[in-house]
Every structure is written in structure tokens, then in C-alpha cells.
Structure 1
Amino acid sequence: MSNRPPNVFVLGLDEANLPALRAVPGTDRMNLHPLLSATELQSGEVHVPDLIDRACTVLDGFEGSIDAIVGYWDFPASTLVSLLSERYGTRATSLESVVKCEHKYWSRLVQQEVVTEHPRFGRVDLTAENPSPPDGVRFPMWLKPALSYSSELAYGVGDMTEFREAVDAIKAGIHRVGRPFEYILDQLDLPPEMADVGGQVCLAEETLNGVQVAVEGYAHDGEITVYGVLDSINYPDSTSFLRHQYPSALPEPVQQRLRSVAERVMRHIGWSEATFSIEFFHDPATDRTAILEINPRHSQSHAELFTYVDGAANHHSMLALALGRDPALPRRKGPYTLAAKWYYRWFTDGVVHRVPSDEEIARIEREIPGVRIDLVPDEPQHLSDSGHQDSYSYEVAHIFTGGDSEEELREKYDRCVAALSLGLDTPAETPS
């Protein structure tokens, strides 16, 4: 076997993830190459054939070996990994298995074949003169496109008035991701239950209650391994994330049930040689557990958390699987007992008029050990123009903290928020 460093092409390689990738053991003996930018993959209504052509131009023009093609973003990056890997002979799970995760309606159909841990769901006919909830799906419910970014166009509704308002909003924006996704569906031999569904379909699901939790894992050599369980805590009286925290505080029997459901579903989907993440709800009052959604990739949002607690980012498993190596992560070898990713948000639109410089952020990170800060908006900018926000809030900064208690995590977060001194004006305060 050659001792040359393998060439790994990373779809959407971005500055925020580069430090975590570089910190993965062994990446100093890899050549990491960017393949399409995050902006190309996520801005506007993407054109999948054009993205494939641009990626192939880069790969065909590369003079060395193409040893791996990887990605940690949702559609279209997730599907491009499978399409390009098949074309260039690199390791990846099948395109069909990716789409069975990513198309929310197909995913529900597949889930109900092997588990009961899912909400009641159905399709909403957006072409009807007066769209109505599916039979058997009761209020309160969530309406969402079959495919979206970061909960974009996902609405919680409690009555028919809110239902109709959400339908109108989804109808107006569903084409941005749904139309390009139909190109991917055309590449597959779809089963009869999916033959007429398409990519621009709206899903209704009964609202799940309890605490939200994420499970991360991978498939390797025919085995499904879950390597991490993380809690997702919302802002009070809100559906928007306040923080992800690792490891989970749920009782071990509950975590084991989550692992079991994940293993059964991913095996049934045909997942192979790739990472995944599944979001669940667990209701302590009823002891009910249910799948919220399945993501056909690990969460890049959690990379720093695994580094803080386990000693290596979850990017390690992605890279190792693509290169045919051992994907196992170290366990509890990091410097901290707990870690969190905090979402500093505004719940009304505003204009950013002062953003700390890179030097100021680096100073804060030096003064507060065990923190990293990523700012979302640029200066000056309306928060509503920053893209990929959920339907109810605006992300201003992502703040990663490591510590040995929840109190320490919160104290570091509060210090970071105060030190950032972000300059924001609400629309009412903004000159017209």
C-alpha cells in the first residue's frame, strides 16, 4: 500500500469547520481539498446538474488520486456525496438510502415499517382549493416541506386559521429546495407509494412533546454503531434551540432505547459506510419516544462538543469511513466533562451595525478558556438577510463552551455574550 497522503475532497469545506477537521487525529497525513463552496451549495435555488458539472470539472482536472469524497451538509451536499462517489469509485452509502432519510415523507413511510416510535403524519395537498389536514392527524401539528434547510418553512399550528397561513407560506417558498430535489428523485427507481409524490410535498405531523435529543452514529462492516447522545434545550416557551449539550443527561435505559430504535431504522434503510444523526423527542411524563427526523450525515454543529468531551471531532468517523479505516471515536479523552453549543438569537428582525473583529473574538477566546465563537451576520446586515434561519428567530452567534458542570457552561456563555457587545438595532430603531 502506498504511503502517500490520501486526497480527500470535502463538499462545502468552510472556515468554521476547518479547525475541527484539522484537529482530527491523522488529518496531518491527509490532503483536504475544497469541492464547491458552502455558498454554492446553499444559496438560492440550486441547480443540481450544474453543481455536478462543476464538481466533476474539479475532480477530472485533478492530477492525483481521488481517494475520498465527503460532506457534512444537508441537501444537495448529502446527495452529491453519493452521486460523485459512485462516479469516481469512492466509498459512500447509496443515493437511495440518503433520500430515504432526507425526504421527510418517504422517511416516515420507511420508519413505520420497522418501528412505532414516530408521530401520526400525512401529506397536505397544496394544489387543493382549500387544503386541509390529513385524515387522522390532529391539532396541534407541524407543517413542513418534505425537504428544507434548518427548519426553514416549518410551522407549528394549533387551528385551521394558523394551518391556512402556514400552507400559504409553504406554497410560496417550497420550490427553492423542492424543485432541485426532484432531479435527485428522477435518478431513483421509486416504489409505488412514492411514484407521484415528488419533491414539492408538504408534510403534516402531530406535535411531539418532551425533551429533544440527538443520536449520532455510523454504519461500518454491516454493524450500526451509536457513538453519542446529545440533549437539545430550547429557549423558554419557544421551539428554537438555546443549546445542544453533550453528553445527554437522560437516564441510561432511555438512551439505550434511542440506540435500539436508531439501529433498527438505519439497518432497514440500508445505511452503509457513512455517518448519520437522528433527532428524537422523549416525553418523561409518558415515557414515550418518537423520531423527529433522520439526517443522512453527522452534525457538524456537534464537532466541537465531541472534541471537548471525547478528544476528537465527529468528523473523524466521516473521514475514516470514506477512507476504509476504523471509524471509532475516542471516548471521554477530552479536557472537559460537558460541552455545549449555544445559539445566541434575536426573536425579532434587526440590523447589525457593529460586529467584533477577528482580533476581538480571538481575545475573548483567549481570556475565557474552553470557548469558541462563530458570528452569523456580517456588518451591516439585516438578520433576515443572513439565510437559513428557522421560522421564528434569527441566529446572531454560535458559542461553544466546555466545562465540568452546567453552571460553568452557562457562566462561560454569559461572559461571551457580554464581551461580544454586538451592536443591533430593531427595525423600529432603524432609519427609514
Structure 2
Amino acid sequence: MSKNVFVVGLNDYNAERLRRLRGVENVTFHPLLTPAQVSETQDFDIPAMLAEAEATLDAFDGSIDAIVGYIDFPVSTMLPILCKKYGTPQVSLEALLKCEHKYWSRAVMREAIPDHIPKFTAFDPFDDNALSKIGEADLRFPFFVKPIKSSGSRLGFRIDSPEDFDFATEKLRAEIRTIGEPFDHVLSQADLPDEIRAVEGHYCMAEQVIGGRQCTVEGYVHDGEVVPYGTVDSIRYPQVLSFFYYLYPSQLPRKVQDKMWEITRTIMSHIGYDNAGFNIEYYWDEVQDKIWLLEINTRIAQSHCDLFEMVDGVSHQQVTIDLGLGRKPDMPRGEGPQNVAAEFFYRVFFRDARVARAPSRAEIEVASEAVEGTRIVSYVSKGMMLSELPEQDAYSFAIASVWMGAGKQSKLLWNYEQVMKKLNYEFTDIVE
């Protein structure tokens, strides 16, 4: 019989990707809410989105076999609520929040893997005495701050001085409630311990600075079995916090990856996470040979889909769909046409600027054809301000992404340079 899978925020490109998965011959994919509502905005009215999604599902004349998504907040936090109501497989809201509520997540990690986490504390950015309270928690400069519900790299800051903290606090106070208020609605649906309920959606985390070679372990849990299936390196631009490219498969030593996978099995089992995909970001401090766990994300990384398809033969949306239908994921390995693959981020390091020129669709197609199998997405158009872009880090703007594969990493980097030579962006009204 045909299965009906509802995908929150489904767009045309991902609809094509899903149809290339294994075992979907009898699956019909249905969009649930639009990308404009859930990912192309910073205004998240979760009660309204849930109401609209439920109205669509209630009106559907057929079986509802799976409700899935591959997008971060707010989609990730809406899925357990929708799946529970309609009886489809998904992780519990409480287990999900043990990952997504950054303070609760660190508290749980402290119980199971204390040697792999930094010092941390929660603070209220609207508290004028927050900096002194952070000091009382034995955190000294430098440290890092971010919302307790982060969304991408947005509103994350390295703090080296009181002036840095004042700058971060100003930004946090201005923007934190766009995440905090909708997250509070999600928290109100969950059974929380009192000490976690006291850390509200607008709170932030202060953490000891950790670092090293960064990577992401992709995995899933099916019927209690934790299965890591790939490690992707996260390469930053020199001397800054912004990502340059994601590389798959990882170039880290095998023993380091094996240890990360062991930590992954330990923490996800301890949390009680089940029947859903996830990824965990790690650092390996090569000098101290120490592994740090940065954070847990409760969905596959959409940026990595093309990388898995190029190297392994299928997007790891395979994991999302199979788990949504209650079956063990059929994820291949090494069956793709490339040995390595990457997503590159073309960035500009301005405070703000206006786009004076962006490449046309035809120019993007020509650039893509420079290296077979390349996909380019430009995020800007002529006349827009860079500050209009959603989900940006605090130090740069990603104006385009380039996905490509190759036989080896050095060839991949050379190919990227050839492609970017064909794309011309220009800016005015630059704020340095």
C-alpha cells in the first residue's frame, strides 16, 4: 500500500532528492507548511504554525504514515508535538529538549560524559549583574555566549573583555526574544524538572572556550540502538569563527573518530533519545589529544545531504524517511561517484552592505558547469542589505553555497576556486 509522508517545509529541490531515496517507490511526499513560514524568516509563531499544520493533516483524506523534517528550529521542536498527536514515530519532546535546551543538555552531559564538556552556566541577558554571576560560576575571559536555544550560529559571541560582553548583551537583548518566546511555547508543552523550567527561553549560556579541529558526527537511534554513520569535518576561515567548508568523509584519525562515536553512543543512550536522526558537533584538541562535545542537534544536517549522496550514493534524508516510517534506515556507504565532497560557503566579512550586483541565474548555471556535478545556491539579490539574510553568524555573511565532489581534497579546493572565479558579486554602502 502507498505510504503518505508529510514533510515540514518541503521545497522543490528536496522533493527531487527524496524521490531518489531507496525504498520510496510506494511513498507519496506531501508538503506541510512552506519554506517561507519555517526557514526563510526569523518570525516564528509556533502556535499558529502548529494550528495550520494540524488543519492540513485533519483535512487529509488518507493515512498519515509519517511526519518528518530536516530543518532546525522551529521545525525540529514542532515534530514531536505533531507526531505524538497523529501517532507517528518520533523522539519524545522531553528527550529532544535534553538536546535542544542547551543548559539542560549540558546538565545531562555532566552526568554521563563529564570529561568531554567545558565549564558552563546559564544567565539572563536582561540581568545587569549577569557578568559578575558568570564570574561566580568560575568562568573567566575568554568565554563564549549563545542562546539556550540556538539557531544556526546566530547570536553566538566570543567574549574576551567586559566591552565584548556589553556588545553581545546589546545584541542579545535586541534579538533574543525572537527565539526565546517561541521556544517558551515549546517548553510549556513538556514535563520539565523545576531547575530546568527556571531557565526560560530568553536565557543564554556562558561556556569555557573550547577548540581544535571541528567535526560533526551524523547518527540515528532506532529501537534504542544508537548508530553513528558518518563524520563530516567543519573547516573554518583562518583566524575567524565562520565556516569555510564542510568536508566528507572526515580526515581526522580513525581512532579519534571511533572515540567520538563511542561518546555519541553513551550520551544518546543516557538521554533516552529514540526513533530519530541527530548530529553531534565535536572538537578534537590535537595538542592535548582531548575530545570536546560542542552541542547536539536533533535532526540530520541538511547541508550534508549532497555530500552523502556524492560519496555514499544517497542523501542521508534516507535516515529521516526510514525512521519516520518506523523502519531501520537503509543507509549505504561508499556507493557514490566521488571519494570526497564538500559544501563551501562564500562569505564577506562586513558588518553590513548593500548588494550592488549578484550573478544571474544564467551566470550561476555557467559557473556550475565549470565542474561536473556542482550545485550553487546564491542567497542574495541586487539591492538587498546583507543584514536581511536570516540565520547568519555574528562575524560574516554567507552569500552563496557551493556543493561539489572530487577524487581527493586538494582537487576539491582547486575546483572551488575555478567555479568562484566565474561568480561576480559587488557591494556598496559597506559597513566595515
Change (3 A) 1:375 1:28: farther
Q: Do structure 1's residue 405 and structure 2's residue 424 form an aligned pair?
A: no
Is residue 345–residue 398 contact of structure 2 (8 Å, CA) maintained in 1? yes
| Letter of the 1:125 counterpart | D
Residues 1:258 and 2:255 aligned together: no
Of residues 4, 10, 16 in structure 2, which corresponds to 1:13?
10
Q: 2:181 aligns with which of 179, 182, 190?
A: 179
Superimposed CA distance per residue, residues 180-200 of structure 1 (whole angstroms, 9 cap, x where no aligned partner):
111111111211321311111
Deviation for aligned residue 1:38 = 2.1
Partner residue of 1:25 out of 22, 26, 30: 22
Where 1:7 maps in the other structure, the secondary structure is strand
Once residues 362 and 34 of structure 1 are traced to their aligned partners in structure 2, the CA distance between those partners, rounded to angstroms, is 27
Which whole-Å deviations, capped at 9, do the CAs of 1:348-379 have from their partners, x for residues lacking one? 13322333333433333334113111111133
Asked whether the equivalents of residues 11 and 34 of structure 1 are also in contact (C-alpha less than 8 Å), the reply is yes
Deviation at 1:131, TM superposition (A): 2.0
The letter for the 2-side match of 1:80 is M
Amino acid across the alignment from 1:255: Q
What's the counterpart of residue 218 of structure 1?
A: 220
Q: 1:21 deviation in Å?
A: 2.3
How far apart in 1 are the matches of 2:418 and 2:71? 30
Does the CA contact (< 8 Å) of 1:216 and 1:229 recur in 2? Answer: yes
Amino acid at match of 1:121: F
Q: Deviations over 1:282-335 (max 9, x none)?
A: 100001111111001110110000001100111001100111223031000000
Q: Give the alignment partner of residue 417 of structure 1, picking from 411, 420, 430.
A: 420
2:113 paired with 1:115: yes
Which is worse superposed, 148-157 or 338-347?
148-157
Distance change >3 Å, CA 428–CA 252, structure 1 → 2: closer
Q: Give the 5 Å matches for 1:269-308.
A: 269-308=271-310
The answer to whether the 8 A contact 1:45-1:180 is kept is no
Q: 1:44, CA displacement in angstroms?
A: 3.1
1:378 is matched with which residue: 377, 381, 386? 381
Paired with 1:23 and 1:112, the residues of 2 have a C-alpha distance of 41
- Separation in 2 of the partners of 1:246 and 1:86? 34
1:236 to 219, 235, 238: 238
Match of 1:331 among 330, 333, 354: 333
Aligned to 2:154: 152
Deviations 1:208-258, CA, capped at 9 Å, x for gaps? 121111000000121000000111000010100000000111111100110
Distance across 2 between alignment mates of 1:141 and 1:211: 18
Counterpart position of 1:355 = 358
Task: Give unmatched runs, 5+ long, in structure 2.
Answer: none
What one-letter code is carried by the residue in structure 1 that aligns with 2:428? Answer: T
Contact 1:74/1:297 (CA < 8 Å) preserved in 2?
yes
- Residue 86 (structure 1) aligns with: 84
CA drift of 1:164 comes to 2.1
TM-score, normalised on structure 1? 0.95
Question: SS at 2:259's partner residue?
Answer: helix
**Stretch deviating more after TM superposition (19-28 or 154-163):** 19-28
Secondary structure in 1 matching 2:130: coil
Partner of residue 140, structure 1: 142
What amino acid maps onto 1:34 in structure 2?
P
**Displacement after TM superposition at 1:129 (Å):** 2.6
Output the CA distance in 1 between the equivalents of 2:107 and 2:70.
Answer: 25
What is residue 104 of structure 2 aligned with on the other side?
Answer: 106
CA RMSD of aligned residues (A): 1.5
Is 2:200 aligned against 1:201?
Answer: no
Contact preservation (8 Å) 1:98, 1:296: yes
* Contact in 2 for aligned 1:370/1:403 (Cα 8 Å): no
Cα distance, 1:146 vs. partner? 0.6
Q: Is the 8 A contact 1:17 1:300 kept in 2?
A: no
Q: Tell me which residue corresponds to 1:365.
A: 368
